[in-house]
Amino acid sequence: MPGTLRVWFPLGICLIWAIFAVLGPILPLTPDEIQLPFILEGPGAHTWFGYDDLGRPVLDRMIMGAQTSFLVAFFVIGISVAVGTAIGVVSAWLGGWWDLVIVRIIDIFLAFPGILLAIALAGILGPGINNVVIALSIVSWVGYARLARAQVLSIKERDHVFAAIALGTRPIRIMVRHLLPLIVAPLIIEATFGVAGVVIAEAGLSYLGLGVQPPEASWGSMIRDGARYMLVAPHMVLAPSVALMLIVLAVNLLGDRLRDYLDVRTVRE
């Protein structure tokens, strides 16, 4: 892809996603309106993406699904970056016994393969968007904690930090003003890739029936419901699948570009 397109294509897709998610509630959508004559009807003049097995418009439900995935991604990344960074920075700064314990806890959380713990947590906490956010946040904070800790360890011996200590600056202020700004770039990049992971995870949980419950829509549950009608109405699977892939691809591309732009080599590869 040519240079500018490599930035604008993913950015545009993410913007469209965000706009639909934010404007969704005020758009004239009828995601729950059942139109019996149009059951399983393919894309056509009535609606761009056809109707589902209950005669609901797929396009409207996809916009609702965009809201679900955006909200979940927003809160999960927000919570886990904040909590993870705080724990990682404090742990590295304090060092000693505290650090030892935190590192062990991080190791233990990392020992669960990715989405497995989220599946178990969501399964046990019960379905619903709140529990999805809780389950995914419990799983995701660790990555940011580990990254923040490693970054602070590598910079906490720098002169400007010693200078701040010598001036009697309070530890909180040192962490926020003198350490945090230096470790923000890799965290932003990790968080960008994290968005892709959370979008997939949310859809995955909903695919398994552990996410948002009907009549709420998620791309994951749309794919699961559509799989049953694949022979007669492939649009029910294809539409949410393509949307999901586009978002994830766009977010990953954006992460790649950001990494090049911020010139951070420590994250991934």
- Residues near other proteins (CB under 8 A) are 104-105, 107-109, 111-117, 119-121, 123-126, 196, 200, 203-204, 207-210, 220, 223-224, 226-227, 230-231, 234, 237-238, 241, 244-245, 248-249, 252-253, 256, 269
In this structure, are residues 183 and 267 in contact, taking their beta carbons and an 8 Å threshold? no
Q: How far is the CB of 244 from other proteins (least distance, A)?
A: 6
255 alpha-carbon distance from chain centroid: 13
Quote the longest CA-to-CA distance of the chain.
Answer: 77
Round the CA-based radius of gyration of the chain to a whole number and report it.
Answer: 22
Q: Which residues pair with 57 in a beta bridge?
A: 51
Nearest distance, CB of residue 127 and other proteins, angstroms: 10
H or E segment to which residue 148 belongs: helix 129-155
Cβ 11 vs Cβ 256: under 8 Å: no
Nearest approach, Cβ of residue 247 and other proteins (Å): 9
User: Which residue, 21 or 248, is less far from other proteins as judged by CB?
Assistant: 248
Least distance in Å: CB of 267 to other proteins?
13
CA-CA distances (angstroms) from residue 103 to 95, 96, 106, 108, 152?
10, 11, 5, 9, 14
Q: Which two tokens mark 218?
A: 């998620």
Q: How far is the CB of 220 from other proteins (least distance, A)?
A: 7
Residues, the chain, total? 269
If the CB atoms of residues 29 and 197 are measured against other proteins, the closer one turns out to be 197
Q: How many CB atoms lie within 10 A of CB 25?
A: 9
Closest CB to other proteins among 43 and 184? 43
Residue nearer to other proteins on the CB measure, 39 or 110: 110
Nearer to other proteins, 29 or 233 (CB): 233
